[in-house]
Structure 1
Amino acid sequence: MLNRRVFSIGLASSIAVPLAVPALAQQRSDVRSAIDGLSQLHAIIVQHGDDIVIEHAARGPGVDRVANIKSCSKSIVGLLLGNAVDSGAITGVNATLGDVAPSLIPADASAEVGSLTLEDLVTMRAGLEGTSGGNYGNWISSSNWVAYALRRPMVATPGERMIYSTGTTHVLGAALTVATGETLLRQARMVLGEPLGIEIPAWTRDPQGNYLGGNEMALTPRAMLRIAVMMRDEGLFEGKPVISTDWFRSSTQRLARSPYSGLDYGYGWFLSESGYIIARGYGGQIIAAHPERKLAIAITSDPNMPARSDGHFGRLMELLEGPVLALA
């Protein structure tokens, strides 16, 4: 079974736990001390091997109700790209936007746009000025989100530096919809929902009906954990393949680096020096896996508060790299 034993660090309402060896008890105490000071934290679940070693809902909707995973959605889109490549719907990551979905490209876009590869898009190295941060509001207020993102000026050579932009991932999601003939919602349910046994509700769509590729998806923390377990186990879940081993390896190549966190970036996943594979969302939403240490983690936080690398997200990384890593 997936979760043979559960050890909770919850408060009075927590289930009784068996006696732990002193070292484990101290490690769990260290985690509790660390999370007690995280005022934005909603819930955390940590699985080591087959066992849930931490399950704590400090506030918010808990572990069984959906939470907005924000930009963790970008990592989900990266997995859907892998399925499209493996199924043959797309020839490979070097296929260009002009080859895969020429109908998406506005006539007045930069000449380089048609030559952008899907790898450029999934690694956010498209070179286009971003639509996130201060540009986000104007972007989602536009009448055509894909065209708006593709009309942004080229500010870097495609394939070089990472420019964080939800619009770039949204273009990728729209291209996947064209290539597969299936909405992102349907793809997500087929590729992840069914094999992992998780519910994936419908989420925000753009004016043309494309599901937002890079934000606003909602999952329960337990569903997030199952994705983390699958990534920890290199594409397998309970021994069955969900994504191919080849795509897992491709996803975790260090191809770019975030100018904000300093973390490396692959096909939609951040990569830490210690070995964590991380999906990160605004406010402090995290899906994390550490294959070497057999750890899988789901974290939700207040989705309306910022979580910068020098703030809440930085403290969450300290939690992962310190007390949580020590559990393994």
Structure 2
Amino acid sequence: MQPISRRTVLAGASALVAGPALARADRWARVVAAARRYDQLHAILVAHRGRTVVAEAFRGDGLDAPANVKSVSKSIVALLLGAAIDRGVVPSVEARLAEVAPRLIPTDAEPQVYELTLQDLVTLRAGLERTSGSNYGAWIASDNWVADALSRPFVAEPGGRMLYSTGSFHVLGAALAEASGRDLLTLTRDWLGDPLGIQVPPWTRDPQGYYMGGNQMALSPRAMLRIGNLMRRGGRWQDARILPRAWVEACLTPVTTSPYSGLGYGYGWFVTQTSAGRLGLARGYGGQIIAVAPDAEAVVAITSDPTQPARSGGYFGDLLSLIAEEVLAAT
């Protein structure tokens, strides 16, 4: 029998090491192939254990240019609320709007408005008639978005069922601006943008000058991925704590349920369960997504055509399947 050479042993060892690595690369290639099938999808980034494993831009302006992330803005404002509480800008999530920003409340508001808490707003359980959906156009055509949102009739008890309403987050953003004495753009840059090293360009303001609290922010896909990794690590970025771990947990712990998608909803973030564990979602119109899977140590950032709808039974459902069946399976 011929002796086995050292070269043969080393080659065999290399093959054993390379085998799993090649298998992983093949799984990520399948994720890219699956994402490519969707005409609405512009860009996708995937990070596993902090390392970027997928970075593809099929359409749009690429991975580094800001994209309109639509209602992902709501999830960002929820993070700013956690930062404001941590800094003592507002006392707690149970604080009433009337305590934090009394001058926002219109003089003809119903008595219940004075009892609304920041928690009611960040969980979309204010009980006021929605400003989203068919009411959105009239709301943004009004001459005072905050007053209009707070002057609408109550259709549910505050703290009761979820009523998806951009106006609730716009009021919350305005309250943070009032309490801090700084506009929402400055807060976003100071409390998230600068620590994470991401750009946050100016976005839409209302007639009173308040930056829109629940829509129209612009973030690059890479910036979205960093926010997702911040959430995955419980509020830490590199060696610094940016957000309290307890706040991140509250964002990813459902307190109510969306009547449209059936997804749970925590503090500004949708939540569901997959075979790989909990999945938190910042979700915007058209298919803008930051997905965080803490148990699988995975983060996904997706941008899509912001002019086309992405419903739970359609394209958004396809994206959830892509994340759960391809991305998380590959981890």
Q: Secondary structure at the match of 1:273?
A: strand
Structure 1 residue identity aligned to 2:288? Q
CA–CA distance in 2 between the matches of 1:52 and 1:34? Answer: 18
Q: Does 1:282 align with 2:285?
A: yes
CA–CA distance in 1 between the matches of 2:21 and 2:196? Answer: 32
Write the mapping of 1:16-95 to structure 2, written as runs, cut at 5 A. 21-95=21-95
Percent identity reads 54
- Partner residue in 2 for 1:96: 96
CA–CA distance in 1 between the matches of 2:21 and 2:313? Answer: 35
CA–CA distance in 1 between the matches of 2:222 and 2:25? Answer: 24
Q: Is the 8 A contact 2:32 2:56 kept in 1?
A: no
Structure 1 residue identity aligned to 2:112? E
- Partner residue in 1 for 2:4: none
Write the mapping of 1:124-163 to structure 2, written as runs, cut at 5 A. 124-163=124-163
Write the mapping of 1:218-233 to structure 2, written as runs, cut at 5 A. 218-233=218-233
Cα deviation 1:154-190 (Å, max 9, x = unaligned): 0001101100000010000111111111110010001
Q: Is the 8 A contact 2:123 2:265 kept in 1?
A: yes
- Partner residue in 1 for 2:179: 179
Measured on the aligned residues, the alpha-carbon RMSD in Å equals 1.3
Select the structure of larger CA radius of gyration. 2
Structure 2 residue identity aligned to 1:248? V
Structure 2 residue identity aligned to 1:265? Y
Deviates more, 1:310-319 or 1:247-256: 247-256
Higher helix share: 2
CA–CA distance in 1 between the matches of 2:220 and 2:28? Answer: 23
- Partner residue in 1 for 2:324: 321
Structure 1, gaps ≥5 residues long: 1-17
Structure 2, gaps ≥5 residues long: 1-17
Under a length normalisation based on structure 1, what TM-score does the superposition of the two structures give?
0.92
Ranges of 4+ aligned residues in structure 1 off by more than 3 Å: 18-22
Structure 2 residue identity aligned to 1:127? G
Q: Secondary structure at the match of 1:124?
A: coil
Give how far 1:22 is off: 4.5
Cα deviation 1:206-245 (Å, max 9, x = unaligned): 0000000010000110111100010011101113111111
- Partner residue in 1 for 2:295: 292
CA–CA distance in 2 between the matches of 1:280 and 1:153? Answer: 27
CA–CA distance in 2 between the matches of 1:318 and 1:50? Answer: 22
CA–CA distance in 1 between the matches of 2:25 and 2:49? Answer: 18
Under a length normalisation based on structure 2, what TM-score does the superposition of the two structures give?
0.91
